[in-house]
Chain A
Amino acid sequence: MTGFHVRRDHLKLVAGSYLRTSLRSGAGVIFLVLSMIVGLVLAGIAVIPIETLQIASKNGQSAEMAFNEAVSKFGPGVISAFTNASDDTARYWLVNQPALMTLFLIMMLAFLPFLASLAGFNQTSGDIGSKGMRYLLLRTERANIFLGRLVATYVFTLAVVTVIFAVVALYTVVKVPYYGTGETLWWLLRGWFACAIFLLPWVALAAWVSTTMEFPFLSLLIMELGLVLWIVIVYVMTKNLEQLHYAQYATPWGFKFWLIDPNPGKMLGGIAVMLGFTAVFTWMGLRHFDKRDL
């Protein structure tokens, strides 16, 4: 970050203080509890139809056979609704890997941008509006405030995601004995890593949007509405306008499933793209924050 004065000790102090302040606020606790509930409900959505089909299966069938039959009925529907994966990729996700975990990962990846914007919309906007950053500005450079809060938001959101993954892992190990524990945990770990990478650009985007607004509510509205609108546009384009489907790659959204792709080259490409988007969003936010009046 040439041109910006960044100090590691100040980054750490700002991040720690921001984390504590956020968690002590009503909004922080509500985010923590609700995001965990939503994440776990998503996990439930992946699991319940399969459990229902398994229970409703005919007598005489083994539980494992009924389970696999349920997965094969439910899985492809989810894959085609959420992704444009090729048959080979879909097979890899549903057959080569624990399918239930794949369905959970796909839903988590779709949910993460919303989670990130909920966590990050107020990184700076509220304090810009209320002049709540002024005592800090006297003691540290703007870059340390912006990046410290961004890091804190990322760590906080990733911690929430980690807890969701840990609980889902525990549930799967206890409740779904048909997958090998090692196989399940390895796939979940890879999924967790994909989520950790996919979160980065969205938290950075939220940080950028937050620097441009003086009202946190407006920042949240723009992030969430913008996301929904973009997802709808991308969906319409990819399903109906063949020639415009490349537009989805204008944001990290279009690359999210590259992160769990069986092709290592594509997966690494996905990571590089996410880091690239993160760098661009962070630089844009930092530049705006550095120039504006606070």
Chain B
Amino acid sequence: MRPGGLTALSIFNFVFGGLAGLVNLISLATLGMFYDKMVEQSQHSGQPIPSKALLYTLSALAVVRAALLITAAIGYLGQRKFLGRTLGNTYAVLALGSIAFEISQAPQSISPFNLVEFVYPLITLFLLNVIFRKDLVR
């Protein structure tokens, strides 16, 4: 039977994946409409903003991460090796890579709440590869 921790992790995945997916899908859909206004505001405040292409890339990556989170959550519930452990690890590596990319390309866009986005993949890597390694084998 599935350990309680794996169930809890899948619930977090659904919540974080659902929220992140929703927010970034909206941001992908509306970026074109609001980008010019953002540029105008940044000129006024003197705070630089990333290019439109970069923002599209970051949002698209976030949507992919969210999809991976949700798919891996289904895998955790079924204790699946590929759907759970492999996709969960893929999400974590991609998330850490995305944060590193974001820091290198647009450090000013990082907010304190991105810290959670940084920590959650670390927790995922630890739990999947140390604590629940023998539970995701089906």
Contacts and interface: CB of A to CB of B under 8 A. Distances in A.
B136 to A, nearest CB: 13
Chain A residues touching B, majority SS:
helix
A168 B47 CA distance: 22
Interface stretch (B27-35, B58-66, B77-85, B119-127): B119-127
Contacts of B112: 40-41, 43-44, 47-48, 171
A288 B4 CA distance: 30
Contacts of B8: 26-27, 29-30, 33
B115 A43 contact: yes
B113 A44 contact: yes
Query: Which of under 10, 10 to 19, 20 to 34, or 35 or more describes the interface residues of B?
Result: 20 to 34
A105 B120 CA distance: 22
Give the residue among A43, A163, A164 with the most B Cβ atoms within 10 A: A163
Interface stretch (A17-25, A180-188, A243-251): A17-25
Contact of B110 (A55, A59, A168, A171): A171
Contacts of B6: 29
Contacts of B103: 174
A133 interface: no
A51 B110 CA distance: 11
A175 B107 contact: yes
A32 interface: yes
A23 B5 contact: yes
Contact of B3 (A25, A36, A174): A25
Contact of A32 (B7, B107, B123): B123
Nearest to B10: A29
B56 interface: no
Given A37-B116, A44-B113, A23 B122 contact: no
Interface in A44-95: 44, 47-48, 51, 55, 59
26 contacts: A20-B131, A23-B131, A24-B131, A25-B3, A25-B5, A26-B7, A26-B8, A27-B8, A29-B4, A29-B5, A29-B12, A36-B116, A36-B120, A36-B123, A37-B116, A40-B115, A40-B116, A41-B116, A43-B112, A47-B112, A48-B112, A163-B122, A167-B119, A171-B115, A174-B103, A175-B107
Q: Nearest 10 CB-CB pairs, A to B?
A: A44-B112, A26-B4, A29-B8, A29-B5, A26-B8, A40-B115, A24-B3, A24-B5, A23-B131, A25-B4
Given A24-B131, A167-B119, 4 more contacts: A24-B4, A48-B112, A55-B45, A171-B110
Interface of B: 3-9, 12, 45-47, 103, 107, 110-113, 115-116, 118-120, 122-123, 127, 131-132
